[in-house]
Amino acid sequence: MNLTRSDDDRALIARVEGREAEALATLYDRHSARLMGLCQRILGDTGEAEEVLQEVFLWVWRSASKFDASRGSVLAWLLVGTRSRAIDRVRTRRPGARAGLRSVETVPDTASGEDIEADSASRQWESQCRSAIAELPEDQRRALELAYFDGLTHQEISERTGTPLGTVKTRVRLGLMKLRDRIQPYTQRRPTDA
């Protein structure tokens, strides 16, 4: 998600909007492993993860014109679309079938798919994100993980952790603010920031 990569991504989205399948293929090569990893983390099922990934790229093909750079990077847009579809599937499952949430500590620092994501800037961004998340206070990180990977509402997080609702909201807000402050140097400045 460095500057160069983000510029490239926006250019690819513009080409996809112009119905260039090759641009979609490049986007796929660039981000599918990360999106697939996210799907697997949320769903815990390879088959369902592939289905969601397929839905996402068809959605990108149909809806590239809806991408708004002022609302975040292309990768963030893809991640939001992927996550929302995966979470929707989790919510339709019966509770017992839900994949367990792994905490940050259990996720290996060295991804097994490093050879897949060979781009050094991307790995630098990923490394920065991991250390920024690891530096978060435990309660803030836990609240963010429950919201992001389990798709829990703030009310559900409150019940799950036995924490007052207001405290949950505060933890989510402070957690995201800290992440923003630590990651921003590595993220693309949007046109509105310029």
Partner 1 sequence: MHSDRFEELAALRALGIPLGADEDEFAQHLEGCATCQALVADFTDSAAALSATATPVAPPASLKTRILGSLESGAVSPRASGGGDLSSRVKTAEAGATPQRSFAPWVFAAAAGLLLLLLVTDDARLRREREDLRSQTAAFRAQAGEGEDLRKQAAALQQEKANLSEKLRAAQRSLARRDLQARVVESDDVQLLFLQGKAPQQRARGRVFWSTRAGRGVVVAGNLSVLPAGKQYELWAFSGGKPVPAGVFDADTAGRVLFESKDLSRIGTPEKFAVTVEPRGGVEAPTGPIVLAGS
| Interaction residues for partner 1, span 126-155 (CB under 8 A) | 126, 129-130, 132-133, 144-145, 147-149, 151, 153-154
Near partner 1 by CB under 8 A: residue from 33, 142, 150, 158: 33
Does position 62 bind partner 1 by CB under 8 A? yes
Q: Is 94 exposed, middle or buried (0-12, 13-18, 19+ CB in 10 A)?
A: exposed
Query: Considering beta carbons, is residue 62 or 164 the nearer one to partner 1?
Result: 62
Near partner 1 by CB under 8 A: residue from 72, 99, 139, 167: 72
The C-alpha angle 151, 152, 156, rounded to 5 degrees, equals 170
The site for partner 1, by CB under 8 A, has a size of 76
Does position 54 bind partner 1 by CB under 8 A? yes
Near partner 1 by CB under 8 A: residue from 100, 138, 162, 192: 192
| Whole-number Cα distances in Å, 48 to 80, 170, 194 | 17, 33, 40
What distance in Å separates the CA atoms of residue 129 and residue 62, rounded to the nearest whole number? 30
Does position 12 bind partner 1 by CB under 8 A? no
Near partner 1 by CB under 8 A: residue from 12, 13, 23, 53: 53
What distance in Å separates the CA atoms of residue 137 and residue 61, rounded to the nearest whole number? 39
Query: Considering beta carbons, is residue 13 or 175 the nearer one to partner 1?
Result: 175
Nearest to 141 by CA among 107, 106, 174, 181: 174
Does position 47 bind partner 1 by CB under 8 A? yes
What distance in Å separates the CA atoms of residue 177 and residue 175, rounded to the nearest whole number? 5
**Residue 95: CB minimum distance to partner 1, A:** 18
Does position 87 bind partner 1 by CB under 8 A? yes
Does position 170 bind partner 1 by CB under 8 A? yes
What distance in Å separates the CA atoms of residue 39 and residue 30, rounded to the nearest whole number? 16
Does position 120 bind partner 1 by CB under 8 A? no
Nearest to 192 by CA among 65, 13, 12, 71: 71
**Residue 11: CB minimum distance to partner 1, A:** 19
Does position 99 bind partner 1 by CB under 8 A? no
What distance in Å separates the CA atoms of residue 175 and residue 99, rounded to the nearest whole number? 24
